[in-house]
Amino acid sequence: MSALDHIRKLHLPDGARILDVGGGSSVLVDALLRENTSWSITVLDISQSALDHAQTRLGSLAKRVTWVAADITQWIANDPVDLWHDRALLHFLADASDRATYANTLRTALKPGGIALIASFSLNGPEKCSNLPVHRYDAQGMLATLGSGIILKDHWLMHHHTPSDKVQEFQFCLFQRV
């Protein structure tokens, strides 16, 4: 099941604000634009070149997206979002203070009742990715990282096959801000 499939199950309303954290050159934004033309989509990534690549790929559709080149540990949300999507950024925050900042940013950016869909390496996932250390999670560990005001709604494991045919186990969690 894809991220879009999980997002569809949320039944987000027209006009929903979606933030794709670490979205870079991911094709999720393409699918979101096709899914609902009234959604307000922001893609945030530390890499301007990844964002440029996505904008080039989308052509004129890129104008319908807000593109933000920023480090999530230094970014401040201007408008609260209905959905915070993060596929594999959180696990790159190896430093505890960066994880605490991420959690605070999420709680600040997410509307009350808003949903966060976060994927990271599971406890059985790799200890490094792209030669960088990662912090691995189970559902309760991720919930503890996000802190108060967030509840766990669902969680599941997924096995991702890399282009080099290695299998990486991911922990997906669905949270809600209370």
Token readout for 6 is 């999980």
pLDDT at 1 over 80: no
Amino acid at position 139, single letter: A
Q: What is the pLDDT of residue 2?
A: 85
Residue 171 has pLDDT above 90, yes or no: yes
- pLDDT tens for 71-130 read 999 999 989 999 999 999 999 999 999 999 999 999 999 999 999 999 999 999 999 988
E strand intervals along the chain: 17-21, 40-45, 65-69, 81-87, 110-121, 128-129, 132-133, 150-161, 167-177
- The percent of residues in the chain predicted with pLDDT above 70, rounded, is 100
Per-residue pLDDT tens for 139-168?
999 999 999 999 999 999 999 888 888 899
Looking at residue 152, what is its pLDDT? 98
pLDDT tens for residues 34-74? 999 999 999 999 999 999 999 999 999 999 999 999 999 99
Number of domains in the chain: 1
The boundaries of the domain holding residue 161 are: 3-7+14-177
The structure's pTM equals 0.95
pLDDT of residue 163: 85
The pLDDT of residue 100? 97
Average pLDDT, the chain: 96
Q: Which domain CATH number covers 31? A: 3.40.50.150
Quick one: pLDDT at residue 18?
98
CA 99 to chain CA mean position, Å: 14
- 169: which 2 tokens? 């186990």
